[in-house]
Each structure stands twice: as C-alpha cells, then as structure tokens.
Structure 1
Amino acid sequence: MNLDELPYQIGLTLIEGIGDVNAKALLAYCGSAGEVFKQKEAHLLKIPGIGSAWARSIVNSKNVLKRAEEEIEFIQKYKIDPIFFTDEKYPTRLKYCSDSPVLLYYKGNADLNREKIIAVVGTRKPSAYGKEKTEEFVSELKDSGILILSGLAYGVDVLAHKTALENNLDTIGVVAHGLDRIYPQIHDKVAKRMIGQGGLLTDFMSGTNPDAVNFPKRNRIVAGLCDALVVIESKRGGGSLITATIANSYNKDVFAFPGRAGDVLAEGCNGLIKQNRAVLIENTADLLYAMQWNDTEKKTNKTKQVPLLLNLSDEEKIVMDVFNKKPSLHVDELCQNTEFTIGKISALLLQLEFSNIIKSRPGKMYELA
C-alpha cells in the first residue's frame, strides 16, 4: 500500500461518472493517480474520452480528496486492504477484463491469486435439488485447495460459502456494497467466519448501500476472478445468468447443472446448456475432468496466462524490443534506449503493466511479467 498515492487512487474512483475504463486511460496518460490530480484542465482535455466536466472535477478535487481521506481512516480502523490496479496483489485474472475495477477493498486472508478458483452461483430460492447439488459439489472439493467464490446472497450463494467453511475450503464473498455492513444482515455470522477463512471483497466504498444497480457490477468481479463459473440452479432471467453472460464475455469456463424439463427453476441452466453457453455437468468430477485439474500431466495454471503481443502500438513494440534484450530494466535505461521522455515512457510502462506484460519493482525497476 502506497499511503502517498492512496488518497489519489481512491479519489480517482470518486470522480462522478468516470468509470473504470476512463480511469485507466487517465492513469495510462498521466503515469499515476497522483499525477492525474496535478494536471491542468487543458492537458486533461487532450486525453481521449475525458470531457470538460470530468476535467473540471479533477482540477477542483478538494471535496473528492477530503472524502478519500475519510475512507482511508475507515479502512485503517477496520483493517481493510485497498488493492489498486497496479498493485502486485491485484488479482491477475481481473487484469484481463477491460472493465475490471481500478480499486478493490478486501478484508480477508485468502490469496486473490490462488491457483484455482471456482465461482458457485444460483437462485436465491433453490429447490431441495438445488440445495443438495450445491452441498454435494462444494463438499466434494474438500482437500483440493480450490478457493470457492460467490456473492453472499440468499440461497445457493450463502450455501456454497457455508459448505466451503464446513469442509475447510477458503471462500470469498464478493458484495455489492461497502464493507461497513453485511447484506443480507442475516449472513453476518457467516461473513465473519469467512474473514478468517477466505474473505470479503468489493469495489464499493463504505457508506454504499446494496442498491439493485450495484449487483451487475458485483457480478463482473465474480465472473472475472474465477477460472470456472458453476451455475447450480436458476430460473430464466435470474441474476446468476447475468454472471454467466459476463463470464462468457471474458472467455471463462462456464458449467451448469441440468434440471428437469418444464421446471421453472431449471430453465436458466437448461437454457445455458442448450445455447452452448455452458457445459453440462452432473457432479464435481465432471468439472475437474473438463478443467484438467485431476490430470497431473495436463495441469495448467490459469493464473499465468500468456498475454498476446499482437495488438501493441508501435511505441509499445519499441519498449518491448528493449525488454527482449534485457528482461529487467531501470526506467532511466528505458528512456536512454528508446529516446522517449520520462512522461512518455511512464505512460507506456503503465499500459504494458495493465496488460500484464511487465511488472514494476521497487526503485523504478521494471521486468517482464
């Protein structure tokens, strides 16, 4: 955690309407969150996608930064870990998602870059069949070391969390509100257990209510953070289908348990399978086989995805040519070898770091990821 940068990192998320994509554009052009707030309005207006309203909000940011300082007091008091997009602890899987959050708030002890992560989602009002399948699926992962991810909602979500806890599996709940509350409140005891055996994760600041508009944003984190998404049971139009759609867009592996034809609670899963948007599974072994997680010879670490270099700009290719000759470089060496200014090289390095091609090290050092 960089305490000098933290007020600006939080402040960047408070610019009304800025969004994660535009926030990353600002970071790429300016080099850091702190530098964003030091820019003059005329310079900000030259950045693609940044209009006059956002530029004025950044320049006149006194109230924004004051609110950021208040949030810092809150997270320090309650031992919440802020994880910025460029931090080493930021989930690698999420970095590959274009709309991933610039800033996460995390309270827990599980590694967000665990080798294997499965998201388990489904209806808030599962049938006896849905409950049985949730408990069976998660309990059969005992001793696997797989992290169970869900949304701490009623029904399948909380049952997946509870079953994980009972089987000594770490489990993380992604919530659609700030970490100053638990919603639904009835899950407070489960949430407290999860903090010691997994954690709670959100991209919302304290004081944020669990409004309906927040849940699709929560769902994108669930979809982006996992290797495999499992839909246990869902009616047509259920919230878990939104998560499945997002997971499809992220090219994640999506699985679904089939249900009885004509059953309202089976329409969502059956529809995913029928449309080839999910692979049919009947048990845990089916998923492990499909993911090649039960075959030591074919085991793959999905966290360490190899980034494609085909879409680099000409300037980024110049930088990468230098790295290809020497995989670890100081920023001054890069300026010397590319003849780019420090401002230009900083922006290019940040963009390459966003793409998980390089990573920063202390002392202004950079190396291949």
Structure 2
Amino acid sequence: MSLLQQIALTLIPGVGSVNSKLLLKHFGSVEELFTASKAQLTAIPGIGEKTAHNIFQKEFFKRAEKEMDFIERYKIKTFFITDDEYPQRLKNCYDAPVLLYYKGNADLNHSKIISIVGTRKATSYGKELTQKLVEDLKKHDVVVTSGLAHGIDAVAHRECLRNEVPTVGVVGHGLDRIYPAQHRSMAEKMVACGGILTEFLSETNPDRENFPKRNRIVAGMADATIIVEASVTGGALITADLANSYNRDVFAYPGDVNHEYSAGCNHLIKTNRANLITGIKDVEYLLGWVATQEAETPKQLSLNLALEPDEDKIARILFAKKMAGIDELSLDAQMPQSKLVVALLGLEMKGVVIGLPGKMYKLA
C-alpha cells in the first residue's frame, strides 16, 4: 500500500515537491497523511481547502495502480525521499522530488559524483575537453551524471561508457521511452553501466517544462557541476544556477570570447558563479581529491576515541551511513542544527570527520 500512496502523492494538484515534504514532516509517513482529516490538512500552513480536497480524490490511486503495473513489469526501482537508497545529496535540496524512478546499477550515493553539462551544439573544442575530462576522472572512481541530451551531455555519457565510468542520465520523461530517440542504444548500455533516472511517470512526454525540473536533479545529486560549453541562455546555465542555490561547487571551462557557446561559461566565471578550470588538476585541487586506483581500506570506528557524547553519536551515524548531510544528521541524531554544528566542528578538529561539498560529511 505504501508505494501506491507514494505514487498517488506525486499526482495530487497543488501539492508538489515542497508541500509533499511539508506534509510528510507533519504526519510522519505517507500512510498517516492519507488517513488525515480535512481539518487536520487545512490546519497546516500552505495547505488550503482546494489542496486538501484534492488529497481525497480517488482517481489518483487508479493512475498509481497503473504505474505500479509498469514498475513491476519492467523491474523499475523506486526511491521515496524517506528511503536510505534515495540520493542523499539530492535529499538536502529544498525542492527535491519525493519519488524517483530508476533503471540501472550505479550507486546514487557514491562517494564522488560529478555532473557534466553543456550546450546541445557542442563544438570540436567542447567535445575534446569533455573527452579528456572523463578520461582523467576515471582514476578517481567517480559516477558521472548528465541529462542525456544532444551535445556535451551525449559526449560525456559516451566517453564514460568507453572508459568504463558509471554514468547516470537524468531524463525529463517517463522510463517507457528515451528522448532523443537517437540515444536509445546508448541509454541501454548506460543501464548496464550506470543508469537512467527520472521523477516522471511512464507515458510522460518530454515536454519543454520538464527539462528545468530534470536539471535540478542533475545539479542536486552531485558534489560539483562542470559546465564545458554553454550559451548565455542555455539549459546548462539553469543547471549552474540550481547548483549554486544548493551550495554546490560549479566549475566552468573558459572559451573564446567571440564564440557564442563559450559566452555562458565566460559569464559564469566573470560573475563569480563558477570556478575557472582548465583540466583535472583544477578539479582535484578545488574538491580536495587525491587520485587513487586502489580501493579504500574499510574504515573501522575506534571505540577508544576521546569523543564527547554528541560527537560519538554523530560519528556512529556516519559510520553506519558512510555519508550524510546536515539535515539528515540532525534528524537521525534528534539534535538541533545549532548543537549539531558544534559537534561536527569538534569531530573535524579531531580528524574524525571530513566536510564535503554540499554540506555533506563522512568519516575521515
């Protein structure tokens, strides 16, 4: 019943991602939400009479049942925002979708995730930069995300497949189709070495308004977004602005000042909305990476560390989860963020915890 209710929640007009999380926070679960009275619903700020009325409509459950049949038939994975498998970086974004649909095997909570985006009309300059970037990223054991569009996106995905780098395409439609259709073969290979991810139900067309929504997932699930080539009005700049709003790193390659598809990158750099990079060494420096071809030694949490009670609680949560954001740590530890920040600072000073881009933390 829970998955049926989760899907139905995403279909209700007037709810959306932000209000969905508000309702879930208030009621504790999707099951409790759908058993609430109209008076309980309208008592929540932001939930008016019309939205409360919509929650009681049964047709949303009929559509949700149809989607469940599709999910089961094609073995689609679903991640609800309260699931541990849900991308934790994305969960910390205020407008994160409450439900994701996924085909693939790449870890969406991998320790290093980079988004590579750019213009659909990539030049030879942009293609060469993307190819070299992916080749150089391989040694860092990363997952690369992009939007499966023509141009830089497609080059990034294709080079990842060639270099055996897991790559996830985030799409602006349901998983019953691939857009553009020319990328179907590539998408099938990505499912075997990466994945295809969306917030949209099957039978959803790749309409224009879906792509900015898609872009927030591309930006939100990564440590950093790299803009290779872009015009000043392209979707890549929307992705960059979204990444900045989520307090994520944005990097951009500079280009010819007279070229249309370098203008966007140059503008981001000029307005301090992106760090200038010329290659992998800049990425390594800005993200604090150390290249390694070897697997990391599994961490063991020492019980002999001189930790304060709050620090010990946070360290144990990070040991179990490997990585978590401030919001999630606050919730799991039942600790206000003002107190949590002090504990995290103490852990960082003792060399127990490392702060990551996007207000994420992991054990050192």
Is the pair's TM-score, using the shorter chain for normalization, greater than 0.5? yes
Alignment TM-score, normalising by the size of structure 2? 0.81
- Once residues 271 and 28 of structure 1 are traced to their aligned partners in structure 2, the CA distance between those partners, rounded to angstroms, is 39
1:78 CA displacement: 0.5
Check conservation: 1:126, 1:156, Cα contact below 8 A.
yes
Match of 1:86 in 2: 82
Report Cα offsets for 1:302-344 as digits up to 9, x if no partner: x8355279999xx975xx99xx9xxxxxxxxxxxxxxxxxxxx
Q: Greater relative contact order: 1 or 2 (C-alpha under 8 angstroms, separation 6 or more)?
A: 1
CA 294–210 in structure 1, closer or farther in 2 if over 3 Å, else same: same
C-alpha displacement of 1:107: 0.6
Q: Which residue of 1 aligns with 2:228?
A: 232
Q: Once superposed, which parts of structure 1, at least 4 consecutive aligned residues long, lie more than 2 Å away?
A: 303-306, 308-312
Q: How does 1:238-249 map to 2 (within 5 A)?
A: 238-249=234-245
How far has the Cα of 1:49 moved from its partner? Answer: 0.7
RMSD: 2.6
Instruction: Confirm or deny: 8 A CA contact 2:80 2:86 kept in the other structure.
Output: yes
Find the counterpart in structure 1 of residue 135 from structure 2.
139
Alignment partner, residue 105 of structure 2: 109
Aligned to 1:27: 24
* TM-superposed deviation, 1:289: 1.8
Do the aligned partners of 1:40 and 1:59 also contact (CA within 8 Å) in 2? no
CA distance in 1, matches of 2:360, 2:39: 31
Scaled by the length of structure 1, the TM-score of the pair is 0.80
Aligned partner of 2:183 in structure 1 is 187
Alignment of 1:37 onto 2:34: yes
Code of the residue aligned with 2:185 in structure 1: it is K
Give the equivalent residue in structure 1 for 2:114: 118
Any conservation in 1 of the 2:88–2:325 contact (CA below 8 Å)? Answer: no
Q: Find the aligned partners of 1:191 and 1:309 in 2 and give their Cα distance.
A: 32
> Secondary structure in 2 aligned to 1:140?
helix
- Name stretches of at least 5 consecutive residues in structure 2 with no aligned partner: 297-317, 344-358
CA distance in 2, matches of 1:203, 1:98: 15
Give the 3 Å change call, closer, same or farther, for CA 310–145 of structure 1 in structure 2. Answer: closer
Unpaired segments ≥5 residues, structure 1: 325-354, 358-369
Tell me how many residue pairs correspond in the alignment.
Answer: 314
Residue 8 of structure 2 aligns to a residue whose secondary structure is helix
**Residue identity (%):** 51
Task: Give SS of 1:293's match.
Answer: coil
Q: Which residue of the partner structure matches residue 260 of structure 1?
A: 256
The one of 296, 304, 311 equivalent to 2:323 is 304
Please give the alpha-carbon distance, in whole angstroms, between the structure 2 residues aligned to 1:68 and 1:306: 31
Alignment partner of 1:178 is 2:174? yes
Q: Is the 8 A contact 2:323 2:360 kept in 1?
A: no
State which of 93, 114, 128 in structure 2 corresponds to 1:97. Answer: 93
SS of residue matched to 1:135:
helix
Matched position secondary structure for 1:178 = coil
Amino acid at match of 2:36: Q
AA aligned to 2:56 is V
Q: Which residue identity lines up with residue 55 of structure 2 in the other structure?
A: I
